[in-house]
Amino acid sequence: MLGGNTRGKVLGSMSSPKTLLRVESLVKHFPVGGLFGPGDHVRAVDGVSLSLLRGQTLALVGESGSGKTTLGRCIVRLIEPTSGRVSFDGVDILALRGTDMRALRRRMQIVFQDPAGSLNPRMTVGTAVREPLEVHRIARGKDAHARVNKLFREVGLDPSLTTRYPHELSGGQKQRVGIARALSIQPEFIVLDEPVSALDVSVQAQVINLLVDLQKARDLTYLFIAHDLAVVRHIADRIAVMYLGKIVETADVIPLYDRPLHPYTVSLLSAVPVPDPRAQRKRVPLRGEVPSSRHPPPGCPFHTRCPHTRKDERCSTEVPKLQEVEPGRWAACHYAETPMTLGRGA
Amino acid sequence: MTALLRVRNLSTSFATESGLARAVDDVSFDLEQGETLGLVGESGCGKTVTALSILRLIAEPPGQYGEESRIEYEGVNLLELSARDLREIRGAQIAMIFQEPMSSLNPVLTVGSQIVEAIRAHGSESRREATERAVELLTLVGIPEPGRQINDYPHQMSGGMQQRVMIAMALSCRPKILIADEPTTALDVTIQAQILDLLMDLKVRFGMSVLFITHDLGVLAGIADRVAVMYGGKIVEEGEVHAIFERPAHPYTQGLLRAVPHIDRPTAQLRGIPGAVPTATEWPSGCRFHPRCSQRIDRCSTETPPDITTETEHIARCWVATPAGKS
Amino acid sequence: MTRWFLIAGVSGALLVAVRFPRILELLTTPAPGTVLPAIGALALPAAAFAGWYWSRRGHSSTQDVWGRLIASKSFLTGAGVVATLGLAALLAPVLTSYNPNAQPDILGAATLRPSWAHPFGTDFFSRDLLSRVLYGARWSLGIALVAVTLLVVVGTAAGILAGWAGGIVDAVVMRIVDAGIAIPRILLLLVIAALWGNLNFFALATLLGLTGWFGLSRIVRAEVLSLKQRPFLHAARALGISRRRMVTHHLLPNLAAPITVTAALGVGNIVLTEASLSYLGVGAPPPDPGWGNIIRESTSIILSAPWVAFFPGVAIFLTVVGFSLIGDSLRSALNPQAR
């Protein structure tokens, strides 16, 4: 599952036949300020391009305000992007309307972070999983009932739970229901928006393992949105790191964790707590906080917090392009070729 | 040497519609001068109720402390103090910070006025002296331009800055004990790292003892001297941090450590613990972990396990833990 | 069970027959259209007992809304009061043998104290007060039901429209609501009544309904706005569920609690408003009775014959209390988390 190296690169100019999802220069600006205020915008997603191969897991990581959740929702069109292209299996989905879009909804799904909030509190969990089957005329009556039971078993839930309401289930069970509901219409691609962040550690591991097993069994493609880099390492093939609405680095899992090229990735990795008192890392301290996405800094968006020793004038004036530094490794840093080292304590 | 804070047989229960919830059940531990004790567990294990009980912040009713419960601070049982004497302790001797800085700060008052209020609650400073002290405190917790930000309202600050303000308020009376209830859970990792560094730095400078409550074993490994693992309202394992992380004796601690994703050990398969955390109204009989335990034996489901002192001199409450000298 | 049913039914029927001898009269000397109500009245206690028993069967648990409702004492009390009032209004011709508007002896029988012949006494014009209160219930409760149905439909629709559509639609609907709330309702109704002349039943009910939905629409809009942010609606959209189904299957069930509670409390409110309007001269056209105008006509004799104001007052009070109890118990029963 981790041998991502052979799966090819995420960013490439050529569209490979195996490419399932392609995002090009996606932009989402949210207007802020009242009716009479100045026309200001939050640049939640600011020109993102990525592509995803069939059967692969791409993790989108970043801190709050990085735009990762907005990007995920733009891809499944829960939010209309301001500009850019999203093509799914060769179809430009932003151009789809009405029934065509609804037909495409069957092929892409989303699982949300908050397992309690993403289920209708007045609907039994069985009905929640059954509803999409009936809406899309996949099954009805006894057949639908049998399918719901089968889905429940597939995600590790007892079918007797179908008559329960969401609040009667534990957090882990609710998230399994959310997964079963997403699987009900047999999608090929699932956006997993922080699917385990709200769960307890012992349950989080169960759900991660479930997601990995389902991917194998159903040949699913995942876009896994997360802030926890330790979790991501266990599930992703490839990683895209976001900062202030832009992708700053993307690479396969192993090289990215071993030798990150962008100073933001370096700091992010060094900040992850390690559950071993003897293996504490030397942190690469990040000064200050994420700037406002209403007024991102000029030049490199990260230069205000950057710990890189070579930081200079150029960083605060010229926006670094996301470029291929090594085969399959892309970074948006003027000094990506001389990366900082990831400090490790004794 | 007697501990600064001694918690003995603490039981805190709540009357709920579905019966009595024994959220904390017969918990005992010591907090020594200058140490950081980490209280770790999953949601519903009773760690936050333990923290709130120490300062008697549980509303009674529906909450209720057990008759045997004792919380001794410098030899005084806090559970027997009058409301007035308790106020002398709260904030001044034992301070607390919470998970959600935004909801712990009053949204309609400036952060400065809230710190000034905290200072003047226990001291005799004039408003002016208190304001000067507030600026000092804000500088201490690393707020840039404290003279200006003292006039900001909470919503004008980021989560990390709000938590710094909470820490400044907690330190305003130089408390001897700081109780930190998941202070970094709502923050991003890079900000979490900053706040943890700040807390540990201040702990040394002020000579405080810290009771650090968290669900995150990674955070704990970095800062704790000793660790107490809670499950089902009880402490199931307790000891020095290296002993707990390297030689966990309780199957729950072992399971928890196997379930945590490890950024340096990607190849290890994650193993969750089957089942879900039980609720406080329906604790399982015997050892409360037995329905989820892979090593259970017959007596686990009927008898409460004893305290076993292991080889690494820490305590595990488990029937199958190996006592020292028997392996 | 059967034995209890028979005992309850027979003893209930006997009680009704003794208290309301007119029923037997109607049965023995049948006139068209009176036999069925008479049999209905006799069977009423049995039917009530059967209904009560049936509703408990299979609902011993508190697993569903109905189970929780009938386990709630306040609902049973409220529903009992409301059902009694409603049935009394429906069965008025059976329960009393007096014509509510008849003035048998305006000198000799005026303002009689309550007695066996006139359980509620008589009014200034010698009319039987029990009959007037019973027939008045038809007017007052009828107006309330029609008006509340109207205000629930309009208020819910406006609230959903404003909250769901947002933007300009929201702004326009909410400004209308603000205007509606800002103008004193009684004054507005009086002006309309003055311009319109005499208002009949449906005109008055419609007016009360159309001026009463503003509060509900605000509640519904606020609820829709907060529901719109909930991930389960995003999830429904991502699953390709149509807008109409999202409103009917995901939004409305979550709005049921505020709507039904407002409706139940609204009935009491409308009865009171209608009574105050009657008091100001807009209401049931005299000599027909409505609870409001019975009280109005009692003002001149309130000290000498207080029962004339007392009984319709009690009826209004019971209606308001009954519906409030129903509203309250609905609020908790509709919440699946309240167990």
* Per-residue pLDDT, C113: 82
What is the rounded distance in angstroms from the CA atom of residue B285 to the CA atom of residue B232? 11
Strand pairing report for B36-40 and B226-231: parallel
Residue type, B180: A
- Tokens 């833990």 — which residue? B321
**A10 has a pLDDT exceeding 50:** no
What is the rounded distance in angstroms from the CA atom of residue C175 to the CA atom of residue C181? 10
Residue C250 DSSP label: I
User: Chain C partners of A117 at a C-beta cutoff of 8 Å?
Assistant: 230-232
Strand pairing report for B209-214 and B177-181: parallel
Q: Which of residues 248-287 of C touch A (CB under 8 A)?
A: 249-250, 253-254, 256
**A38 has a pLDDT exceeding 70:** no
Six-digit token string for A208:
């991660």
How confident is the model over B261-319, as pLDDT tens digits? 888 776 667 888 888 888 888 888 889 999 988 888 888 888 888 888 877 778 888 88
Cβ-Cβ contacts under 8 Å for C302 (sequence gap 6 or more): C308, C309
What is the rounded distance in angstroms from the CA atom of residue A155 to the CA atom of residue A178? 10
**Mutant choice from A114, A120, A124 vs C, greatest count of C C-beta within 10 A:** A120
For residues B2 and B8, is the Cβ–Cβ distance under 8 A?
A: no
Q: Predicted confidence band at C45 (pLDDT cuts at 50, 70, 90)?
A: low
> 3-class DSSP state for residue C172?
helix
Q: By the CB < 8 Å criterion, does B185 face chain A?
A: no
Identify the burial level of C305 via C-beta atoms within 10 angstroms of its C-beta, where 0-12 means exposed, 13-18 middle and 19 or more buried.
Answer: buried
List the single residue in C234, C253, C254 with the smallest CB-CB distance to A78: C234
Q: Distance from CA of residue C163 to its chain's centroid?
A: 29
Cβ atoms within 10 Å of A60's Cβ, excluding its own: 29
- Tokens 């991003």 — which residue? B188
How confident is the model over A176-232, as pLDDT tens digits? 999 999 999 999 999 999 998 888 888 888 899 999 999 999 999 999 999 888 889
CA distance C336 to chain A (A): 7
Cβ atoms within 10 Å of C121's Cβ, excluding its own: 20
* Per-residue pLDDT, C29: 64
* Per-residue pLDDT, C54: 65
Mean pLDDT of C250-266: 85
Angle A156-A158-A161 from CA coordinates, rounded to 5°: 125
For every residue of C87-153, DSSP letters joined together read: HHHHTHHHH--S-TT--S-TTTSTTPPP-SSSTT-B-TT--BHHHHHHHHHHHHHHHHHHHHHHHHH
Mean pLDDT of A252-281: 87
**For chain C, which chains pass the contact test of at least 3 CB pairs under 8 Å?**
A
* Per-residue pLDDT, C2: 66
Nearest to A155 by CA among A73, A218, A63, A103: A218
Residue type, C246: M
Question: What's the ipTM?
Answer: 0.83
List the single residue in B42, B190, B262 with the smallest CB-CB distance to A271: B190
For every residue of A171-231, DSSP letters joined together read: HHHHHHHHHHHHHHT--SEEEEESTTTTS-HHHHHHHHHHHHHHHHHHT-EEEEEES-HHH
- Tokens 């470029």 — which residue? A323
Are residues A118 and C249, on separate chains, in Cβ contact within 8 Å? Answer: no
List the single residue in C232, C245, C256 with the smallest CB-CB distance to A118: C232
**C129-324, which class in CATH?**
mainly alpha
* Per-residue pLDDT, C153: 93
* Per-residue pLDDT, C247: 87
Mean pLDDT of C313-317: 89
**A55 has a pLDDT exceeding 50:** yes
- Looking at per-residue pLDDT, the higher value among A240 and A308 belongs to A240
Residue C248 DSSP label: I
Are residues C240 and A185, on separate chains, in Cβ contact within 8 Å? Answer: yes
Six-digit token string for B258:
């196997």
How confident is the model over C128-139, as pLDDT tens digits? 888 889 888 888
User: Chain A partners of C229 at a C-beta cutoff of 8 Å?
Assistant: none
End-to-end CA distance of chain C: 29
User: Chain A partners of C236 at a C-beta cutoff of 8 Å?
Assistant: 120
Strand pairing report for A40-53 and B209-214: unpaired
User: Chain A partners of B245 at a C-beta cutoff of 8 Å?
Assistant: 275-277
User: Chain B partners of A173 at a C-beta cutoff of 8 Å?
Assistant: 276
Element (H, E) at A24: strand A19-32
Cβ-Cβ contacts under 8 Å for B198 (sequence gap 6 or more): B141, B142, B164, B167
CA distance A229 to chain C (A): 24
> 3-class DSSP state for residue A281?
coil
**A12 has a pLDDT exceeding 60:** no
Residue C249 DSSP label: I
Q: Predicted confidence band at C33 (pLDDT cuts at 50, 70, 90)?
A: low
**For chain A, which chains pass the contact test of at least 3 CB pairs under 8 Å?**
B, C
- Looking at per-residue pLDDT, the higher value among C158 and B307 belongs to C158
Mean pLDDT of B187-208: 88
Q: Which of residues 96-125 of A touch C (CB under 8 A)?
A: 101-103, 105-106, 109-110, 112-114, 117-123
What is the rounded distance in angstroms from the CA atom of residue B9 to the CA atom of residue B26? 4
* Per-residue pLDDT, B271: 84
Give me the residue spans of the domains in chain C: 2-95, 129-324
Mean pLDDT of A87-112: 87
Q: Predicted confidence band at C56 (pLDDT cuts at 50, 70, 90)?
A: low
Are residues A178 and C235, on separate chains, in Cβ contact within 8 Å? Answer: yes
Nearest to B97 by CA among B17, B217, B184, B33: B184
* Per-residue pLDDT, C147: 92
Six-digit token string for C301:
């004799």
Are residues C235 and A181, on separate chains, in Cβ contact within 8 Å? Answer: yes
* pTM exceeds cut of 0.95: no
